[in-house]
Structure 1
Amino acid sequence: MTGSDGSATTPPDRSAAAPAADGPGRAARAGRVSTAVVVGAGLAGLTAATGLAARGIDVTVLEARTRVGGRTHGLLVAPGRQVDAGAAYLGERHTELLSLVKELGLDTTPTAMHGASRFVLGREGTTRDGRFPPLNAVALGDLFELLDELTAAVRPDAPWLTPDAARLDSLTAAAWAEQKLTHPDARLFFPLFLGEMMAADPADVSVLHMAFYLRSGGGVRYLNAFEGGAQQDRIAGGAHQVCERLAGRLGARVRLGEVVRAVHQDDDGVTVHATAGAYRADVAVMALPPLLADAVEYRPWLPVRRAGERTARGCAVKATLVYPEPLWREHGLSGWSVNAEGPLLSTVDDSPAEGGVGVLTGFVTGREARRFGALDPRRRRAAVVEQAARVFPMLPPPTALHITDWVNEQYSHGCYAALRGPGDWLRHGPTLTAPHRRVHWAGTETSTEYFGLMEGAVRSGHRVVAEILARG
């Protein structure tokens, strides 16, 4: 990873001139891969690293943070009780992640959704059964039909080859909504939905990216569902344990506090320049979000940068509100809420299954996340506590509040995933996974399956292992 602010260090005039892959002679000289450096100790990087190590390749993992896990992160909320401050949810279709969870001796626990929901979409809050908001059902039905039409038309394996891709990739989701959504309830709900699904402001993403993201994740209804959907379960004790256990298999080969500045290649290998020095290997795996990957200096220069001028950070902040126990359940509530105004645009019950503490996780997403992230810590906390009192007036103030700001996190540059803006897919899609000579790419943003999810990260790690084994 890099320690920069995400601005490109690669001169654009030289970037476009470099070859994209090894020529025939270079591949013949390369021989069998015996050493690899993996940059980034999140799910993708550690999946790749442990996969390579299991096949006899000598692996070194470099991580800029002082912890492993990337965009998974455990938060201690009570003695022996941790919850997810980052990526958290999974469903039955997330087969590679579920297989890994089982292999590592971890368990899943259902996301608790028993009871009524709270909605504050106007001046007064409303309590009602289920998760469907008290808005015009026909208008929301029309919205979801339009989204279904878009997702059905996109090519999930190659979005840039979707019919009418150029137009769809030039139009923002905000402009699309302005054209297509006529009912005020649909216009109110659309940015809330997109924030929950993608951590996106509609102005930041192209229609092509929105449609691809929804299709890649299993469709609108699967992504939006708890029971039977993509948010059905959590990993008991926190998703961060997956990375911790994978790193445990590698031991001292995982090196923390190593900020990668440059990756230089020649005919015989690759040299990764980091905080503690240079690491030499046959290949490198860059398991970084695209904005961070672009901040590394590459020689030869990249033929196409990993991000475009309109690529944005995923806009998500998590507020973890801690209570002595899940007190909302005593009032027949599930802990789920949807709110038209921030900072908390939605909340969910993330209380540990073992009990001992109650946890409401609040999501600050989209444009609201950027506004909230610019506040000083005191004003952030006050805004969250004040809103929680309005949404759940029957609850006492939380006993603790933790705020995890992924928008401004130095070594993530956003969460859930980078947001592809207008022009990004047509420009960057064809080179999404293509190795740059001895450099391979991993990360959920490189996966056309479950893009932006933990499942996508794991699948990208498996793909990179197969690519590297095929080299020699």
Structure 2
Amino acid sequence: MTTGPRTPGRSAVVVGAGLAGLTAATGLAAHGFAVTVLEARERVGGRTHGIEAAPGVRIDAGAAYLGDRHTELHALAAELCLKTTPTTMLGASRFALTDADADADEQPATSDGRFPPLDAVALGDLFERLAELTDAVRPDAPWLTPDAERLDALTAAEWAERHLTHPDARLFFPLFLGEMCAADPADVSVLHLAFYLRSGGGLRYLNAFAGGAQQDRIAGGAHQVCERLAAPLGTAIRLGEPVRAVHQDDRSVTVHTDRGTYRAEVAVLALPPLLADAIEYRPALPQPRSGERTARGCAVKVHLVYPAPLWRDHGLSGWSVNARGPLLSTVDDSPEDGIGVLTGFVTGAEAHRFGALTPERQRAEAVDQARRLFPMLPEPQGVHITDWLADPYSRGCYAALLGPGDWTRIGPALTAPHRRVHWAGTETSTAFFGLMEGAVRSGRRVVAEVLARG
């Protein structure tokens, strides 16, 4: 990443060293800005995070997947000399879709493909209804969608109660919503649900591996994107400095941390809405970044590490969908050569329950369920649990969940600068909201905004 000559007087403070913040920081540096990046964590990466599963092998504890429509992320990865690897989905799937009151020892079903062994007509009706909502939403401005106020006042749980009559559709809907956006149906408005699906490329694209949004991973882990973006910035990145206040006047903006103050021409805040609202602003924000019903994305990610992807030897893909937790879905995230990594997703209300358990109990539940789904598995070599709900500097994952009233109240001011303060982050992108692609696009947008200030 090249940095151009500094232009006298041009300076920026970027808050947040995730994908959005570092995309903005490197973009501004390339146009001659003196840039300082303030990051609360002791690492860069935000909601991308690589953890060591085996010596020399890193896996994605956070955001992981990308598809062919994620053009900005693909271009950035290529610029940083990073390659992608396909998400392996060869083989049959496993489904444990009996309800919570059924016999816990009932054997999971094996099925070709990813379509669950539930009533096809009922699921077809569910997907048709979701497609109707998705097609009607305005992706560039969801608050201007026809009937937006009614759709934004209604939770997805209330919508399901009114429109889903078949037990199989009622069973599958919260599992689908948890997989798509790590949400409990009671936490999000129907407008947010429809927008999220439309923003991500539509129901089919967002839900697909081959040819869809989950087709590939960054070889070696998505965290490398941020690490390589950060490298040329060097000491301009200050780790372990949570921002407490942002004050501005007609000439500059001053960002306050516990360790010091940083003054610049502009500030870029690349933070989730709940974190942005925890900062003191002078003058005050004209509109909060979140609302009373804005919720944390409900995601806990579990990695079970084995000597090899042993399920493949039995004709299984590693993919499963389960009505009971903790692992509501699993996927094969094994590296191209070597160990086997079965990734489990704990989402929605189950993420809150699981997160309250002791680490020992969490491990036991995850291992026991994996063994029921895939009886050939031995005791795992490692179990890694990443609780994004409990992370104080993310406030959930994949992204913030916009609840009733949020889009119609907050949406119109989503990207509007507050004088010298500009906003980035995947939650500010109306394209690929909640995804890595959305974060990168938001960083690009902010660079254009700042340059347009003159």
TM normalised by structure 1 equals 0.93
Aligned residue in 2 for 1:311: 294
1:32 to 1:309, Cα distance in 2 relative to 1, 3 A: farther
Matches within 5 A, 1:150-161: 150-161=133-144
Per-residue deviation, residues 110-135 of structure 1 (Å, max 9, x unmatched): 00000111111123311111001110
Aligned residue in 2 for 1:215: 198
Which sections of structure 1, spanning at least 5 residues, go unmatched?
Answer: 1-30
Aligned residues: 441
Aligned residue in 2 for 1:429: 411
Aligned residue in 2 for 1:73: 49
For residue 349 of structure 2, give the secondary structure of its aligned residue in structure 1: helix
Please point out which of 248, 254, 267 is paired with 1:271. Answer: 254
- Name which structure has the greater RCO, CA cutoff 8 Å, separation 6+: 1
The answer on whether the counterparts of 2:330 and 2:343 sit within 8 Å (CA) in structure 1 is yes
Measure, in 2, the Cα distance between the counterparts of 1:299 and 1:376: 41
Q: State the 1:176 CA deviation.
A: 0.2
The amino acid that maps onto 1:46 is L
Measure, in 2, the Cα distance between the counterparts of 1:143 and 1:366: 19
The answer on whether the counterparts of 1:42 and 1:71 sit within 8 Å (CA) in structure 2 is yes
The answer on whether the counterparts of 1:33 and 1:283 sit within 8 Å (CA) in structure 2 is no
Measure, in 2, the Cα distance between the counterparts of 1:342 and 1:249: 43
Please point out which of 263, 266, 270 is paired with 1:283. Answer: 266
Q: State the 1:399 CA deviation.
A: 1.2
Runs of 4+ in 1 over 2 A off after TM superposition: none
For residue 234 of structure 1, give the secondary structure of its aligned residue in structure 2: strand
Aligned residue in 1 for 2:231: 248
For residue 134 of structure 1, give the secondary structure of its aligned residue in structure 2: coil
Q: State the 1:446 CA deviation.
A: 0.3
Measure, in 1, the Cα distance between the counterparts of 2:425 and 2:372: 39
The answer on whether the counterparts of 2:175 and 2:323 sit within 8 Å (CA) in structure 1 is yes
Measure, in 2, the Cα distance between the counterparts of 1:439 and 1:33: 17
Measure, in 2, the Cα distance between the counterparts of 1:136 and 1:356: 39
Please point out which of 214, 227, 249 is paired with 1:231. Answer: 214
Cα RMSD of the aligned pairs, angstroms, is 1.0
Measure, in 2, the Cα distance between the counterparts of 1:75 and 1:364: 18
The amino acid that maps onto 1:363 is F
Per-residue deviation, residues 419-465 of structure 1 (Å, max 9, x unmatched): 00000001100000000000000000000000000000000000000
Which sections of structure 2, spanning at least 5 residues, go unmatched?
Answer: 1-6, 99-105
Q: State the 1:374 CA deviation.
A: 1.1
The amino acid that maps onto 2:220 is G
Aligned residue in 2 for 1:25: none
The answer on whether the counterparts of 2:97 and 2:322 sit within 8 Å (CA) in structure 1 is yes
Matches within 5 A, 1:383-398: 383-398=365-380
Aligned residue in 1 for 2:103: none
Please point out which of 10, 13, 20 is paired with 1:44. Answer: 20
For residue 434 of structure 2, give the secondary structure of its aligned residue in structure 1: coil
Please point out which of 443, 446, 450 is paired with 1:461. Answer: 443
1:33 to 1:109, Cα distance in 2 relative to 1, 3 A: farther
Measure, in 2, the Cα distance between the counterparts of 1:339 and 1:32: 58
Per-residue deviation, residues 90-118 of structure 1 (Å, max 9, x unmatched): 00000000000000000000000001111
Q: State the 1:149 CA deviation.
A: 0.2
Q: State the 1:320 CA deviation.
A: 0.4
Please point out which of 372, 380, 385 is paired with 1:403. Answer: 385
Measure, in 2, the Cα distance between the counterparts of 1:33 and 1:146: 54
The answer on whether the counterparts of 1:195 and 1:366 sit within 8 Å (CA) in structure 2 is yes
Please point out which of 115, 130, 144 is paired with 1:147. Answer: 130
Measure, in 2, the Cα distance between the counterparts of 1:431 and 1:33: 28
Measure, in 1, the Cα distance between the counterparts of 2:387 and 2:366: 13
Aligned residue in 2 for 1:6: none
Q: State the 1:33 CA deviation.
A: 6.4
Aligned residue in 1 for 2:428: 446
The answer on whether the counterparts of 2:137 and 2:195 sit within 8 Å (CA) in structure 1 is yes
Measure, in 2, the Cα distance between the counterparts of 1:247 and 1:220: 34
Please point out which of 380, 402, 405 is paired with 1:420. Answer: 402
Aligned residue in 1 for 2:175: 192
For residue 364 of structure 2, give the secondary structure of its aligned residue in structure 1: helix
Matches within 5 A, 1:355-394: 355-394=337-376
Identity %, equivalent residues = 78
The answer on whether the counterparts of 2:107 and 2:372 sit within 8 Å (CA) in structure 1 is no
Measure, in 2, the Cα distance between the counterparts of 1:124 and 1:190: 22
TM normalised by structure 2 equals 0.96
The amino acid that maps onto 1:468 is V
1:221 to 1:186, Cα distance in 2 relative to 1, 3 A: same
Structure 1 window deviating more from structure 2 (341-350 vs 121-130): it is 121-130
Please point out which of 338, 350, 358 is paired with 2:321. Answer: 338
